[in-house]
Amino acid sequence: MKHVIIGGDGFVGRHIAQQLLARREEVVIYDINKSDLEIYKSASFFRLDITDREAFSAMLIGPDDMVYNMAARMLDPILPWWNRKAFFWPVNYNGVQYLLEHMSRRNCDKLVHFTTDMVYGYMTHNPQNEDHPRKPLGPYGESKSLSEDLCESYRARGMKISMFRPRLIIGPGRLGILRKLFWLVDHHLPIPMIGNGTNHYQFISVFDCASAAICAYDKSVPNSVYNLGSKNPPTVTELLMALIKEADTKSVLLKTPAGLVKAALNALEFVGFPLMDPEQYLIADEDCIVDISRGERELGWVPRYSDQDMLIQAYREYRQGKFQARPAARER
C-alpha cells in the first residue's frame, strides 16, 4: 500500500508528503514539476500532466493505495475575466474527471480531494457550515464546485472520497495576495480595508491542511466534506493591527465604503485591468468564517495555528526573502 499524491510538489502536497514520510509511509508523487525538495530523498516522483487524459495510463495505482488530489490552479494570478474559465477548468475540473476515471479503472477507491470555501459564494448564514448553499461567484469557485459533483457521482459507484474546503491557505513558501499588503506595510503607506474592518477573517495553515488530509486517511476516508479554517478568527482590524505592531510601521488602517470600492473594482475588472479577483473582493467585507466543528467531531482534527501567528510568520518570511534578494554590498 502506498500514498499517491497528485500535485505533490505543490504547496500543500509537499507538506502532506513530509508528514507521511515522518510516519515512515511509502509516498509517490505525481506532478508536472519537480522541485529541489528534501522529500525526494525518500519519495518517488513521476511526471504527470493531469490535463492530458492519456497521460494517466502510465500512473501505477492499485486497489489498496491511498490517493490525494492536491493539483489545482489557484486564484493567485490576476487574470482578465475572459481568460479565467480557460485557465481554471483544465486542471480543476477536467483533471479531476480524468483522475477519477483512472482510479475507477484500477479499482482504487480511496481519495482525499481539496476544493475551496469559494464554492459557497455570498454568506447566507454565519458561520458557514458544510450544508451552506454552493453558489460560487466566478469560474474558480465554479470549477471546484463542479469537481465536488464529480466526486459525489463516483461515491455513488462505491468510491470513498473525503473532500476539504479550506479558507485562504498560508504558510512557508506562499505569499500570494499578502505580498501587496506587506509592500504597503514596508513603505509605511495606508492600508485600505474594504468596509470598516469589523468583520472577521479566517486563514488556515498549510500544516493544518496536511494534518487534516492524513486524519481522513486514519479515519478510513469518510464520505463527507469538511471545512478547514482556524479557531476563533479575529476581526480584520485586529488582524491588521497585529501586523502593524510586528512591522513597527507608520501605516494606518483606512476604512472605505465597501459598495463604492467594489463598484470601482468591478469597473476595472470590466475593462481588463483587475486589481483583485471578484471572488475575493465581493465578499471582503463579510464575516468570512467557516464552521470547522464537523472535522473536529468526525476526524479528531484540531487546527494548531492562529490567524495572527500565521500572518506575522508570513510577513517575517517576506522580509527575510526581501533582504536575501538584495545584492551583496561590494567591498571597498
**pLDDT tens-digit readout, 191-218:** 999 999 999 999 999 999 999 999 999 9
Question: SS3 of 310, please?
Answer: helix
Are 16 and 28 within 8 A, CB to CB?
Answer: no
Are 123 and 101 within 8 A, CB to CB?
Answer: no
pLDDT, mean over the chain: 92
**pLDDT tens-digit readout, 72-111:** 988 765 777 778 889 999 999 999 999 999 999 999 999 9
What are the structural domains, with CATH classification, of the chain?
3-170+204-230+290-303 (3.40.50.720)
State how far the Cα of 278 lies from the Cα of 146, in Å rounded to an integer: 19
Q: Where are the alpha helices (DSSP H) in 199-329?
A: 206-218, 236-247, 258-270, 278-281, 293-299, 307-325
Mean pLDDT of 1-21: 96
Mean pLDDT of 161-190: 91
Cβ-defined contacts of 144-147 (< 8 Å, 24+): 144/72, 144/92, 144/115, 144/116, 144/118, 144/119, 145/115, 145/119, 146/93, 147/92, 147/93, 147/96, 147/113, 147/115
CA neighbor of 45 nearest in space, from 5, 103, 99 = 5
For residue 170, what are the β-bridge partners? 205
Are 294 and 130 within 8 A, CB to CB?
Answer: yes
pLDDT, residue 322, reads: 58
pLDDT, residue 76, reads: 65
pLDDT, residue 330, reads: 30
Report which DSSP code applies to 328. Answer: P
**pLDDT tens-digit readout, 250-304:** 999 999 999 999 999 889 888 887 778 888 889 999 988 999 999 999 999 999 9
